[in-house]
Amino acid sequence: MSILFGGRATGAESFNPTFAGRIWMAVLTNLRQSISSLGELWRTPLWTLITVAVLGVSMTFPATLHLLVKNVQQVSNSYDKSFEISLFLQNTATETDVATLSTLLQGNPEVAEVKLISKDAAMQEFKQESGFGEALDFIEQNPLPHVLLVTPKVNTPAAAQQLQENLAKERFVELAKLDISWLERLAALVNLVQQAVYAIAVLLLAGAILVIGNTIRLLIMDKKSEIEVMKLVGATDGFIQRPFLYTGIWLGLFAGILAFLVIELMLWWLEGALARVTSLYQSQFHFAALTFGEFSSLLLIGITLGFIGSYLAVRSHIRAIEPA
């Protein structure tokens, strides 16, 4: 409705007064503006390519690191499950005591498997492995204790530690040993890398926003006279800025697609090397590529970056342009 001339029907209202009609009109206008933004990008292919390449590369790097962390985590998780608690028994424990304890442990719901290494078997093994051989025959009494190797059912380091503490309190148990410090170290390292990846990602994505913002700013400056004319014939700031927002969104979307393609290309290139690594780990580990969810988030991140970058640019610059 006109402000100055009450009763003068203006614009779309003059022929389509329904609410649904106006919504439809707004959808059409947006569609038209988004497609025309795409057309503008198409008309300047070199400029578009360079911009998308810059954005795509700055998205590829964090995405690749994410993929790397994801796979390292998978490897370290597979190690997490391979706990073993060694129970060194007291010297006073007899064969019968050992057998009783072994049966008792097998009944424990947290225990998957119990394996006995008897005094004699341990001595035998030690003789072979240590190289002392015959020299050990001079020892009158076997100083080695009976050992029970317990494989827990639990699969987190903390639960395994809990089990180890419980087993240490069992009768005849001199010492219960769980070697998880190296696992903890690995987990801490993976965590550190992960945090570093996030920090790098934030920096690179902030850079991408600045690139988009600057690109859109140049575009606005380039169209200064056009914007002035639009303001003179009654365009609102919202109407004028929408094509630039769509330009940013398109650039972000294309950058996301480019990042995905580059990663896929890289995986294809590394396929042979990866296959060799995974074969060394036998079937324990399979290299995971980008999932569909990750692909979608890559596109979504691109679109979001494009929108934020272009919004920052249009907000300050479109308002500043006034016809003189």
Contact between 324 and other proteins by CB under 8 A: the answer reads yes
Stretch that binds other proteins, among 226-234, 243-251, 277-285, 288-296 (CB under 8 A): 226-234
**Helix, strand, or coil (residue 104):** helix
152-161 long-range contacts (CB < 8 A, ≥24 apart) are: 152/83, 152/85, 152/110, 152/111, 152/112, 153/109, 153/110, 153/111, 153/112, 154/83, 154/110, 155/80, 155/81, 155/83, 156/80, 157/80, 157/83, 157/183, 157/184, 157/187, 159/110, 160/83, 160/85
Minimum CB separation of residue 36 from other proteins in Å reads: 10
The set of residues, in sequence order, having a beta carbon less than 8 Å from that of 115 and lying 6+ positions away, is 148, 149, 151
Contact between 153 and other proteins by CB under 8 A: the answer reads no
What are 149's strand-pairing partners?
86, 115
- Among residues 17, 26, 44, 202, which is the contact residue for other proteins, using CB under 8 A? 26
- Among residues 129, 134, 140, 322, which is the contact residue for other proteins, using CB under 8 A? 322
- Do residues 41 and 48 touch, judged by C-beta distance below 8 A? yes
Enumerate residues 233-272 that contact other proteins by CB under 8 A.
233-237, 239
Contact between 231 and other proteins by CB under 8 A: the answer reads yes
Contact between 221 and other proteins by CB under 8 A: the answer reads no
Residue whose CB is less far from other proteins, 140 or 322: 322
- Among residues 188, 232, 265, 300, which is the contact residue for other proteins, using CB under 8 A? 232
Minimum CB separation of residue 237 from other proteins in Å reads: 8
Contact between 182 and other proteins by CB under 8 A: the answer reads no
Contact between 134 and other proteins by CB under 8 A: the answer reads no
Minimum CB separation of residue 191 from other proteins in Å reads: 51
Minimum CB separation of residue 248 from other proteins in Å reads: 20
- Among residues 95, 184, 226, 264, which is the contact residue for other proteins, using CB under 8 A? 226
Residue whose CB is less far from other proteins, 153 or 231: 231
- Do residues 123 and 142 touch, judged by C-beta distance below 8 A? yes
Q: In what order do the strands lie in the sheet with 147-152?
A: 111-117, 147-152, 85-89, 173-178
The count of chain residues that interact with other proteins, using the rule CB under 8 A, is 31
Contact between 20 and other proteins by CB under 8 A: the answer reads no
Contact between 11 and other proteins by CB under 8 A: the answer reads yes
The set of residues, in sequence order, having a beta carbon less than 8 Å from that of 45 and lying 6+ positions away, is none
- Residue 111, Ramachandran bin (φ over 0: left; ψ between -120 and 50: alpha; else beta): beta
Minimum CB separation of residue 300 from other proteins in Å reads: 30
**Helix, strand, or coil (residue 86):** strand
Tell the residue number behind the tokens 């080695």, with chain if given.
144
The set of residues, in sequence order, having a beta carbon less than 8 Å from that of 307 and lying 6+ positions away, is 245, 248, 249, 252
Question: Strand 111-117 and strand 147-152: pairing?
Answer: antiparallel
- Among residues 17, 32, 94, 115, which is the contact residue for other proteins, using CB under 8 A? 32
- Among residues 12, 38, 53, 193, which is the contact residue for other proteins, using CB under 8 A? 12
- Do residues 307 and 249 touch, judged by C-beta distance below 8 A? yes
Minimum CB separation of residue 37 from other proteins in Å reads: 14
Contact between 44 and other proteins by CB under 8 A: the answer reads no
Stretch that binds other proteins, among 9-17, 147-155, 167-175, 307-315 (CB under 8 A): 9-17
List contacts with other proteins (CB under 8 A): 2-5, 8, 10-12, 15, 22, 25-26, 28-29, 32, 225-226, 228-237, 239, 322-324
